[in-house]
Structure 1
Amino acid sequence: MGHSYDFPAAVKGLSAPPRPTTGGARERILDAAYKLFLQRGIRDVGIAELISRAEVAKATFYAHFASKDELVLAYLERCHQDMTVEAIIAETARRTESPTGRMMSIFDVLDGWFRQQDFQACAFVSTMLEMGPTHPLGVSSINYLAQVRAFIRDLAVEAGLERPDAFARSCHILTKGSIISAVEGDREAAVLAKRMAASLIRDHGGDAPMNP
């Protein structure tokens, strides 16, 4: 692809946007969790470390979060606000009004994310893989990821693609697979996934360039 894009702050911050600490105990705990969970995952970070990093008392921690799982759910909600669907939707709409073009530009957004020096895996994919698909935190992560698939399906319907549900499922597999590949070190993953998405669009009766 080889293009250089000027990403808005919300999209540039897909991996871990800096947030000002407000000073409130709950926000300090959440700020600490946000940084530690993104860097090291869920299981590796204990409550004692979170309390120390947030500089709060143990009683204060439990006054705001009844358990570590409750804190993780708040962390995932913050990631949802900062990193995923809203940023992708806004950026694709900024680039083009064409539903097909917006589907293709999802991979351009991912490409910009993957090429950041501080790139980190999607919090929802990481949490789901770490905790498993039946754990409540895994279920929550899957539900957030499903919103991306719903967005793709809406675009497919708008573009008049055949079998929009099947298309959205396949395209969603490409987005998640490209994230895993990028974590492995393949910074071209989104470029390759975009080419496969174009083929999928054509297979479902749409019009997409042969060499996107």
Structure 2
Amino acid sequence: METAVQAQTGARERILTSSYDLFLARGVRAVGVNEIIAAAGVAKASFYSHFPSKDDLVLAFFERRESVFTVGYLTAESQRRADTPRDQLMAIFEIFDEWFHTPGFTGCPYIRALLENGPGQPLGAASLAYIEETRTNVRDAATLMGLTDPDDFAYCWLVILQGAIVSGVGIDPDSAARIRTLGEMLISLHTPAL
């Protein structure tokens, strides 16, 4: 027999799981609370007991996405494919190429939420925080690689990756493979002269 705690946990997880797929497919703005409630099979009161607002649910979605995709897939896969920080960064282009060719690819939910909400809104600010964390990780890799101006490198690296993602959504699914050369050039540009 299910306890009240298990039922509550189950409802929260159903809400988060249902919204995860909906948010990925259509973005956070296009998906309404009533649609999530119906997809999760929960009562409205149950939804609001777990997530006082839709923004709270979106923030939980962001956390889940970072855990599942960024850390659990992208970072883990780049480390599996390569041993050095340089090669791990370059592996991102191959991983992105595979991601962009996945049926139903809809881009990055953080970029999408930032564009939908703007940087001054809570969800836009949360998206920016994720992007900043990614930039910090790239800067750390650049420092380990001994590159000049790791801050500039990380900023430019993210511009390249974000451009590839945006281009990959319906414009050019081969964009990651196309810009790999730009990644190599950026590393060369920041490599100290011998």
Q: Same fold (TM over 0.5)?
A: yes
Q: Which residue of 1 aligns with 2:94?
A: 108
Is the 8 Å Cα contact of residues 85 and 147 (structure 1) preserved in structure 2?
A: no
CA deviation profile, 1:11-58 (whole Å, cap 9, x unmatched): xxxxxxxxxxx9811111111211211112222222122112211111
More helix, by proportion? 2
CA distance in 1, matches of 2:56, 2:93: 32
**Alignment RMSD (CA, Å):** 1.8
TM-score, structure 2 as length reference: 0.89
Give the paired residue count. Answer: 186
1:136 pairs with 2:122: yes
Which of 2, 14, 19 does residue 33 from structure 1 map onto? 19
Which of 174, 179, 182 does residue 193 from structure 1 map onto? 179
Instruction: State the shift of 1:102 in Å.
Output: 1.4
Letter in 2 for 1:193: I
Which of 38, 51, 69 does residue 52 from structure 1 map onto? 38
Unaligned residue ranges in structure 2 (runs of 5+): 1-7
Overall identity of the aligned pairs, in %: 42
Is the 8 Å Cα contact of residues 92 and 105 (structure 1) preserved in structure 2?
A: yes
Letter in 2 for 1:180: V
Q: Which residue of 1 aligns with 2:191?
A: 205
CA distance in 2, matches of 1:205, 1:39: 39
Is the 8 Å Cα contact of residues 25 and 104 (structure 2) preserved in structure 1?
A: no
Letter in 2 for 1:84: T
**Any runs of at least 4 consecutive aligned residues in structure 1 with deviations exceeding 3 A, and if so which?**
none
SS of the aligned residue for 2:29 comes to coil
Unaligned residue ranges in structure 1 (runs of 5+): 1-21, 208-212
SS of the aligned residue for 1:120 comes to coil
Which of 108, 116, 136 does residue 122 from structure 1 map onto? 108
Letter in 2 for 1:176: Q
SS of the aligned residue for 2:94 comes to helix
